[in-house]
Amino acid sequence: MLAGLPAVPRYRGRFAPSPTGPLHFGSLVAAVGSYLDARTQGGEWLLRMEDVDTPRNVPGAAEQILATLEAFGFAWDGPVLWQSQRAAAYGEVLDALRRAGQAYPCACSRKEIADSATRPAVDGGLAYPGTCRAGLPPGRAERAWRLRVAAGETAFVDRLQGRLAQLLEHDVGDFVLRRADGLFAYQLAVVVDDAAQGITDIVRGADLLASTPRQIWLQQCLGYLTPRYAHLPVAANAAGEKLSKQTLAPALAAGEAAAELVRALRFLGQPVPAELGRGRPADVWAWAGAHWQFAAIPRQRSISLPA
C-alpha cells in the first residue's frame, strides 16, 4: 500500500433493521444474505438500528432484535449505530443542502398533495407535483423540507436485479428529507449513515429497490460514493404480500435458530442439507461459510412461501 493513504475498506456491509417489531423470516433473509456476502469476501458487517421514525418504534423491539441476532450466531463489527442518536448529523447535512439551494421548505399538507398530484409515485404514494419548488406560497408556513431531484435519469446496476432507472422528477418528485413532524426521513438518514459507516456494499430486500435511485441522487448531491447494491428477493405470504408486521409475520423463535437459518439459506437458493436444521446454528454457519454461492440467489423481486 502507498504510505500516507488511508486504508479504504475492500468490503463493508451492514444490516439495518427498524425496531417496529421482532425479527421475522423476511428480515432474517436480509440479515443472512448481507452477512454471508460480507463474510465470504473477508468483509466487515455492521449493524444499525433504524429507529429514526420514533413513533413507529415498539418499546423493547430493538433489544429483542439484538438478542435474536446473537442467539442466531450473527457477530457484528463495532458498536451498533442508533439512528435516534444521529439528529445532529442529519441536521448538518440538511443545512448543507439548504445552503446549496438543493433542499427547500414545503407548505403542502397531505390533502393538498392528494388534490394537486397528477400521477402515482413508484412506491405507491403520489409524485410530488413541485408546488413549493419555486418558493413557499405567500402566507404559508414551512412544514417539511424536500430535496430537488434530477430532471434526467438516475440509474444503477443491481448485482441481482440488473439495471434499474428512474426519472425521479416524474416517478417520485422532490422528496421529503425532514417531515412535517420534525423527524428526519428514512431516505436522508440511510444515506448519511451508509456514508458515515463507510458502507461499500448494501445487500437488502427488493422492497427497497424503488428507493435506491432516490438514495443515489442524494449521494450525488452530497458528493458521497455510491455503494454496490444487491436486492434480495423478499419473502411473501401465499397471497403475495411481503412478510411484515402488517401481514402478521410470526416472530422468529430463538429455540429454532438452526432450522430458521436453514430455511433462510434455502430461500436464497443455497442447497443446505436439511439435517443441519436439527443441529446448532454454528454448524449451519460452518456449512454456509464453506458453500455460500451468491450466484445461486434467485434473481427475483419476491418469492411466495407456501401457506
> Does residue number 272 form part of the binding site for ligand GLU (CB under 6 A)?
no
Question: Minimum distance from CB of 187 to ligand GLU (Å)?
Answer: 10
Alpha helix ranges (H) inside the chain: 25-39, 61-71, 87-99, 110-116, 168-171, 186-196, 212-222, 257-267, 281-291
Which three three-digit cell numbers place residue 50? 433504524
> Does residue number 233 form part of the binding site for ligand GLU (CB under 6 A)?
no
- x-or-dash string of contact with ligand GLU, 202-221, rule CB under 6 A: --x---x-------------
Question: Minimum distance from CB of 17 to ligand GLU (Å)?
Answer: 5
Task: Please name every residue paired with 162 in a beta bridge, in sequence order, or none if there are none.
Answer: 158
Segment contacting ligand GLU by CB under 6 A, of 15-23, 90-98, 170-178, 222-230: 15-23
Strands 144-147 and 162-167: unpaired
Give first-to-last CA distance, the chain, whole Å: 54
Q: Is 245 a catalytic residue?
A: yes
Q: Which of 50, 51, 49, 43 is nearest to 77 (CA)?
A: 43
Options 140, 245, 291, 301, the catalytic residue: 245
Please say which residue, 183 or 208, places its beta carbon nearer to ligand GLU: 208
Question: Minimum distance from CB of 236 to ligand GLU (Å)?
Answer: 15
Strands 162-167 and 44-49: unpaired
Question: Minimum distance from CB of 53 to ligand GLU (Å)?
Answer: 9
Question: Minimum distance from CB of 142 to ligand GLU (Å)?
Answer: 27
Contacts of 218 (CB under 8 A, 6+ apart): 147, 187, 188, 191
Strands 201-205 and 228-232: parallel
> Does residue number 17 form part of the binding site for ligand GLU (CB under 6 A)?
yes
Task: Please name every residue paired with 126 in a beta bridge, in sequence order, or none if there are none.
Answer: 120
> Does residue number 66 form part of the binding site for ligand GLU (CB under 6 A)?
no
C-alpha of 196 from chain center: 15
How far is the C-alpha of 34 from the C-alpha of 161, rounded, in Å? 15
- x-or-dash string of contact with ligand GLU, 163-202, rule CB under 6 A: ---------------------------x------------
Question: Minimum distance from CB of 254 to ligand GLU (Å)?
Answer: 20
Q: With contacts defined by CB under 6 A, how many residues of the chain interact with ligand GLU?
A: 7
> Do 166 and 156 contact (CB within 8 A), yes or no?
no
DSSP 172: T
Q: Which of 300, 279, 157, 148 is nearest to 228 (CA)?
A: 157
Segment contacting ligand GLU by CB under 6 A, of 16-24, 62-70, 172-180, 295-303: 16-24
> Does residue number 18 form part of the binding site for ligand GLU (CB under 6 A)?
yes
Which three three-digit cell numbers place residue 258? 438452526
- x-or-dash string of contact with ligand GLU, 31-50, rule CB under 6 A: -------------------x
Segment contacting ligand GLU by CB under 6 A, of 14-22, 59-67, 105-113, 289-297: 14-22
Please say which residue, 30 or 276, places its beta carbon nearer to ligand GLU: 30
- Residues that are catalytic: 245
**Which positions touch ligand GLU (CB under 6 A)?**
16-18, 50, 190, 204, 208
